[in-house]
């Protein structure tokens, strides 16, 4: 039986919407839940509730804000296995992915709470004997628009640091994961005793995304926007936010490379490629979408990579923990990946593993012979399909990795750390990991991309910088002189 959610969370209460929409289980297309379908009126009410709650929340001693967030972490941990089940059913994720995601979010809670003890300003030198200070203060209402692929992590990262800093929040999760990316957090914080209006969660169907999104960006009481999603939508959000001179932080798409040098540890390299390419069906902004391998070890690497990837089992993740590769999130996404695959094959690429598409289920697929004129080379894939491309020199590998509009993450596999750093320093990516996959994150690090992969940074003190305003405040003790004619 499908769950039924009675309302959205606005002003500390559960408010009904004008209608509902169906939240589907991507594994079998069944209705997992009936979710409130909001519109402009509900979005406006949520913004107003957050604005009304801001003075009291921002004035609350920072330790008190931290205590509420720590309490929420405890509740989250108690509900962990229930949340894992929801992630599998609502998002199509493997059991191990759910265990990782829920464990990681616990640490985001704690890292955000701990951030309130970090320095929030500086004392600056003054030529005039002033006490000169650069101080940070919360902005006000922050709207958070979060995605479906890692709904708990990317929602938590999007708002918890901003919340800890004293801002109030209006959260709109993806219509694909309205519970695990949205309403779940309302339940958690309501139980934790968060003051009314500090966190507001509104859900809506795809039909109402435009009108709700416009409110969350353009409403004059919204002071900042946190967006994680596709580059195409990110450009639209950025344009609207910029038109209103609003601060925003965006983590967008990627076309990430794993560079495997000839001196790489082969076991480590093939595991990094396998995890990076196929974890959560490749539906990660940091997924490895090009495996670049030195020609001296190309054949050996390819054989080992194919053998390792062939062990990954495809199937409904709610039926068996052995089903590592679940469904893609919806038919549209599966169709996009299928189109890229067919285009590559038609233009001469060779399938060396997988290639079968069965509805939303796509086998782990490895291709060779992929060239720049193919969609698979140019576009973000967001699916379990990856090319293996040979290179002769480090310069060539760097050129291939940088040959994209994106610049999110990368991995470099080599026993020579100096060589790895030299390569990393020439890659146009916001993140790079030597002897590890491009898929990496920790709650306290600066995470964000270059080029079309985003603007700004999430994580740790970088989130605090993003979601606070800097002010210059002085105390005049030296008697700075004015011109005598005044």
Residue 412: which of 252, 279, 290 has the closest Cα?
A: 290
C-alpha–C-alpha distance, residues 105 and 443, integer Å: 8
Residue 2, pLDDT above cutoff 90:
no
- Label residue 479 by pLDDT band (50, 70, 90): confident
Residues 238 and 265 grouped into a single domain: no
Residue 331 token pair: 């038919």
The model's pLDDT over 188-205, given as tens digits with 9 standing for 90+, comes to 999 999 999 999 999 999
The answer to whether residue 313 scores a pLDDT higher than 90 is yes
> Same domain, yes or no, for 326 and 345?
yes
- Classify residue 485: in a domain, yes or no: no
Q: What is the pLDDT of residue 82?
A: 97
Look over the chain and give the mean of its residue pLDDT values, rounded to a whole number. Answer: 97
- Residues 149 and 205 placed together within one structural domain of the fold: yes
**Token pair listed for 352:** 């060396």
What pLDDT was estimated at residue 102?
98
pLDDT at 18: 85
107-145, pLDDT tens digit by residue?
A: 999 999 999 999 889 999 999 999 999 999 999 999 999
Residue 199 token pair:
């966190």
What is the token pair recorded at 68? Answer: 């509420």
pLDDT at residue 1 greater than cutoff 80: no
- pLDDT by residue (tens digit) across 45-54? 999 999 999 9
Claim to verify: residue 245 and residue 290 sit in the same structural domain: no
CA–CA gap between residue 438 and residue 413 (Å, rounded): 11
Residues above pLDDT 90, as percent of the chain: 97
Give the domain CATH number at 260.
Answer: 3.40.309.10
Instruction: Indicate whether 297 belongs to any domain.
Output: yes
Residues 214 and 66 in one domain: yes
In angstroms, rounded to a whole number, what is the distance separating the alpha carbons of residues 16 and 13?
Answer: 10
Share of residues in the chain with pLDDT > 70 (%): 100
Active-site residue, from 90, 175, 251, 289 = 251
Same domain, yes or no: 192 and 225 = yes
Domain co-membership, 287 together with 217 = no
Element at 206 (helix H, strand E): none
Q: Report the phi/psi class of residue 475: left, alpha or beta, with left for phi > 0 and alpha for psi in -120 to 50.
A: beta
Quick: pLDDT tens for 60-79.
Answer: 999 999 999 999 999 999 99
* Overall number of domains in the chain: 2
379 is catalytic: no
* 292 and 239 housed in the same domain: no
Which residue is catalytic, options 152, 204, 249, 285?
285
Any domain includes 443:
no
According to DSSP, the residues that pair with 19 across neighbouring strands are 37
User: What is the mean predicted confidence (pLDDT) over 344-366?
Assistant: 98
Domain that residue 389 falls in: 256-434
Q: Are residues 173 and 208 in the same domain?
A: yes
Q: Does any domain span residue 483?
A: no
Q: Is 152 a catalytic residue?
A: no
């Amino acid at each position: 039986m499908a769950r039924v959610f009675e309302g959205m969370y606005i002003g500390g209460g559960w408010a009904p919407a004008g209608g509902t929409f169906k939240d589907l289980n991507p594994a079998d297309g069944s209705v997992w839940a009936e979710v409130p379908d909001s519109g402009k009126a509900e979005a406006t009410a949520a913004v107003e509730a957050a604005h009304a709650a801001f003075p009291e929340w921002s004035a609350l001693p920072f330790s008190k804000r931290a205590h509420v967030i720590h309490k929420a972490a405890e509740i989250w941990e108690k509900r962990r296995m229930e949340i894992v089940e929801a992630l599998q059913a609502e998002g199509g994720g493997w059991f191990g992915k759910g265990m990782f995601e829920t464990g990681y979010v616990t640490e985001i809670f704690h890292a955000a709470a701990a951030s309130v003890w970090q320095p929030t300003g500086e004392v600056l030198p003054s030529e005039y004997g002033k006490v000169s200070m650069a101080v940070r203060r919360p902005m006000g209402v922050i709207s958070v628009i979060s995605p479906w692929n890692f709904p708990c992590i990317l929602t938590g990262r999007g708002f918890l640091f901003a919340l800890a800093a004293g801002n109030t929040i209006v959260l709109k999760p993806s219509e694909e994961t309205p519970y695990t990316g949205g309403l779940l957090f309302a339940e958690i914080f309501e139980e934790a005793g968060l003051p009314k209006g500090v966190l507001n969660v509104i859900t809506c169907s795809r039909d109402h995304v435009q009108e709700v999104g416009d409110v969350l960006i353009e409403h004059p009481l919204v002071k900042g926007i946190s967006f994680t999603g596709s580059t195409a939508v990110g450009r639209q959000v950025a344009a609207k936010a910029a038109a209103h001179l609003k601060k925003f932080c965006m983590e967008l798409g990627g076309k990430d490379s794993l560079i495997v040098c000839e001196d790489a540890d082969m076991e480590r390299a093939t595991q990094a490629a396998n995890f990076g390419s196929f974890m959560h069906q490749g539906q990660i902004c940091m997924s490895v979408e090009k495996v670049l391998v030195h020609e001296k070890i190309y054949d050996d690497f390819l054989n080992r990579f194919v053998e390792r990837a062939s062990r990954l089992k495809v199937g409904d993740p709610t039926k068996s923990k052995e089903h590592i590769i679940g469904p893609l999130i919806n038919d549209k996404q599966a169709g996009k990946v299928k189109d890229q695959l067919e285009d590559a094959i038609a233009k001469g690429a060779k399938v060396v593993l997988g290639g079968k598409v069965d509805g939303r289920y796509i086998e782990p697929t490895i291709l060779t012979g992929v060239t720049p004129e193919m969609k698979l080379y140019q576009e973000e894939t967001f699916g379990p399909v990856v090319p293996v491309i040979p290179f002769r020199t480090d310069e060539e590998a760097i050129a291939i990795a940088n040959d994209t509009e994106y610049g999110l993450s990368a991995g470099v596999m080599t026993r020579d750390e100096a060589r790895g750093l030299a390569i990393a320093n020439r890659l146009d990516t916001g993140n790079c990991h030597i002897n590890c996959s491009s898929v990496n994150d920790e709650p306290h690090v600066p995470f964000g991309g270059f080029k079309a992969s985003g603007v700004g940074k999430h994580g740790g003190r970088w989130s605090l910088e993003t979601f606070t305003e800097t002010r210059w405040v002085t105390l005049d003790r030296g008697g700075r002189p004015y011109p005598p004619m005044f």
